Structure 1
Amino acid sequence: MRKLKLQVQMTIDGFVAGPNGELDWMWIPGERDEAGFRKVIELADSCDIILLGRGMIREFIDHWENVVDNLPDSPEQSLAQRMVNMRKIVFSRTQTAIKGRNLEVENGDLATAVQALKKEPGKDIMVYGGANFASSLISLNLIDEYYIFSNPVAIGNGLTIFKEQKVLKLESSTVYKNGKIINKYLPV
């Protein structure tokens, strides 16, 4: 059975975005770490479906499609190709169609739909967010592996994905030159 993997960037004070969804804290100028970027690609390559919440989809699609279509020399090009070409499923209670390449919309029950996807043949499934969507998956105990990139920045206030106590087991931890740490956790 496929695993559902959650990959998120998080501040040291536990936020995945600013109060209004801001992500500017994630990219410190001149601080890109190639080993960390390769890990993101490795994780993407272990999956063949991306699950996303409706709240973040427009920004996600517009960013990656723009890199593929208009920025051929971008250092993000290899990841962008993966993000654009991979099957993406957006969960929404309000929209039945959303424009984007390899994108479909799921309006059914979240737990039922995810359990059905896990039973399909194929690689694992990746969740990148948004915060409310990831929080719903966590609350329903659907996440099999957590990949939390801890960034060396505190923002004081913002969006979190943990709404209740969740005990996790640390399986591995890797420190990168730019100060980011990736912790892989498993549910207990």
Structure 2
Amino acid sequence: MKIGYARVSTEDQRLDLQLSALRRAGCGRIYRDHGTSGTMMTRPGLERMLASLRPGQTLVVWRLDRLGRSLSGLVQIIDDLGRRGVDFQSLTEEVSTASPGGRLIFHIMAALAEFERALISERTKAGMAEAQRKGRHIGRPPSLSDKQIVEAIRAVETESIKSIAARYGIHARTLQRQFQRLRETG
């Protein structure tokens, strides 16, 4: 019996493409995680699926990176499945651990996928460093303007941080961080 696993990283993404592919591959049951990063190895759907697998079954994913983002995490899961008598299949990469050659290809593909992610990460960091060097702001825009921060500081003398934060539509901890940032920059 084939058991499917589908995952998307953010709440905005949809599982439809993966679910359709897994159904076409003959998966009788499909576990899913929605809005869960692949870097996290503790995912509710993944844990339920791994606990349900029995010898002779095959775990099927749409792509390798749906199961895990790191080579060590993927290898650990696949090795554990092999010890339990469970095969693994990735539809997009056309990898199956049902044969020794398939296991070799899996390890090569996983290493290349991790290498690609590392290159992307390096390029992203280099781009962010260059943007900062040129004086561009990186990340989210500030939650409060400088004028709002000054108003909030004045209001703290007569109001609670919680009520001030509510007025600006932010969390009290966000307001405290703004105050701390202001103290640090002088």
Structure whose CA Rg is larger: 2
Bigger fraction of residues in helix: 2
TM-score bracket for the superposition, by shorter chain length: under 0.3
Larger relative contact order (Cα-Cα within 8 Å, sequence gap ≥ 6): 1
User: Structure 1-normalised TM-score?
Assistant: 0.25
The structure where strand makes up a greater share of residues is 1
